[in-house]
Amino acid sequence: MPTSPTSRTQTRDILGHPRGLPVLAGTELWERISFHGMLALLTLYMAEQLFLPGHAGAVVGLAPLRAAIESLTGPLSVEALAAQVFGLYAGLIYFTPVFGGIIGDRWLGRRRSVLLGALLMALGHGCMVFDQTFLLALVLLILGAGFMRGNLIAQVGSLYPAGDPRSANGIQIYYAMVNIGGFAAPLVTGLLARVYGWHVGFGFAGLGMVAGLLIYALGMHMIPADAPVDRTVERARLTARERRTVATLIALLPLFVLFFVGLTQQWNVYNLWARDHVSMAIGSWSMPVPWVQSMMAVESVILVPVVLRFWHWLERLRGPLDDLSKLAMGCIVFAAFTAMDGMGTLVFGTGGHVPLWWIVLSSTGTQFGYLNVQPVAIALYTRVAPKAINAMMVGIYFMGIFFGSLISGSLGGLYAQWTPTAFWLLHAGLVGAAGLVFAVLRAPVGRLLFSDRSV
């Protein structure tokens, strides 16, 4: 009798993890290099070149899109239009994985979905090289991300048997690749765009996506094969316990939304706050404000082993550490160091003199908190969600990022009206509230998710 795909792919481990993990992590590394490399240029490219007279008229579909947006917002400046298009793109990137997960679970299968998504994203990056196909590029990137992201992460969960404690560590390794891409890509594409022009920077991002596609295609034999796709109605039926699990995971989503309000604000208004209220001087040299984002990414990479050792230390001290405890702790730590940002202007004054070391310390704390939330949440959803709709549930989790991004964008308008202290304390309060609710719900949610389940 032939061996199962899972047994064939997992009989030999690499550094204690299934052989498929380096394939999936490597694919994600290059996908994130392409994504963050392009993202670092996108708003500047639109505001400084693409939407200016002489270029905007060449962009196919821009005039009707602008008319549609301005029918809701009123007339927009070039910079405001760029911000609107960026926000719409960033939100949809986290919205489409819901539908990509459903398609992957019920029709295409995860492998074909990831391959299709990677191909669409590679084509999208190729279209970014030309002004005329800019909006087509964004559409292809949004669709590609929808097919790829939820299905790729769900495959990480499928590498491990149910209840395998290595799952959370595997997700941490996977997310280390996300952060490496987030750190390296803006430095490279930003330099290429400055020296050789915008389209060369976008071209490098496209090459990154092609590299990710090749890694996945060549290493796909190391990943457990998809379960046979059964399109009958009976396949979609869930047991009572599975329905309870799905309802519990969906009920947790508002707490993740609150966390992502705080996290996505670090991608948005944080740069404005650093520009206005932080001294970026290092000796006689002033660090560019966008490098703050790269700083956060490298902090996340460095902190991964620290977080893993911290979990190990806590487990030796107090016994097994459940997921809800990690989520509660991560939100509370993130909130505390977000509050530190708000207190900076009180401690050092409002004249823009918060020292750089202050935000290095605060961002280190928020990244430590982040690593106790995002990877743990992904591991939780992939581990306990019913296998029949696993990728779809990961996509639903991404909805938390979608709604958190929308809310943080709305709250960002308060930055010009409130003091920095009040602005950041608001966000700290939202994330901290989520942490407290996670702590209160730890026991009942644990019973709902893990009763009658081997862990």
| Closest by CA position to 410, among listed 42, 91, 182, 77 | 91
Cα–Cα distances in Å, from 196 out to 170, 188, 191, 317, 403? 38, 12, 8, 55, 37
Residue 286 DSSP class: E
pLDDT of 232: 52
pLDDT of 255: 97
Q: Which one-letter amino acid corresponds to residue 283? A: G
pLDDT of 126: 93
Say which residue the tokens 């199962």 belong to.
4
Measured CA to CA, the distance from residue 168 to residue 177 in angstroms comes to 15
CATH 3.30.70.260 holds for 239-455: no
SS3 45: helix
N-term to C-term CA, the chain: 29
CB-based contact 365:339 (threshold 8 Å) = no
CATH architecture, domain 11-226: Up-down Bundle (1.20)
Measured CA to CA, the distance from residue 189 to residue 34 in angstroms comes to 9
Q: Left (φ > 0), alpha (ψ -120 to 50) or beta: where does 73 sit?
A: alpha
State the SS3 of 153-164: HHHHHHCCCCCC
pLDDT of 228: 66
pLDDT of 231: 55
Residue 165 DSSP class: T
Measured CA to CA, the distance from residue 181 to residue 204 in angstroms comes to 13
pLDDT of 26: 95
Whether 11-226 and 239-455 share one fold: the answer is yes
pLDDT of 2: 43
Q: Which one-letter amino acid corresponds to residue 115? A: L
| Calculated CA dihedral for residues 113, 115, 119, 125, nearest 10 degrees | 90
Measured CA to CA, the distance from residue 172 to residue 368 in angstroms comes to 12
Q: Along the chain (455 residues), what's the average pLDDT of each consecutive run of 10 residues? A: 44 71 94 88 81 93 92 76 77 85 87 95 94 96 92 85 78 83 84 84 93 95 75 64 90 95 82 80 79 82 91 90 94 98 84 86 96 91 84 82 79 75 96 97 87 54
Burial level of 310, CB count in 10 A (0-12/13-18/19+)? Answer: middle
| φ, ψ at 287 (rounded to 5°) | -70, 135
Measured CA to CA, the distance from residue 138 to residue 125 in angstroms comes to 8
pLDDT of 105: 82
Give the pair of three-digit tokens for residue 74. 């009123």
CB-based contact 373:323 (threshold 8 Å) = no
In the chain, domain spans:
11-226, 239-455
CB-based contact 101:150 (threshold 8 Å) = yes
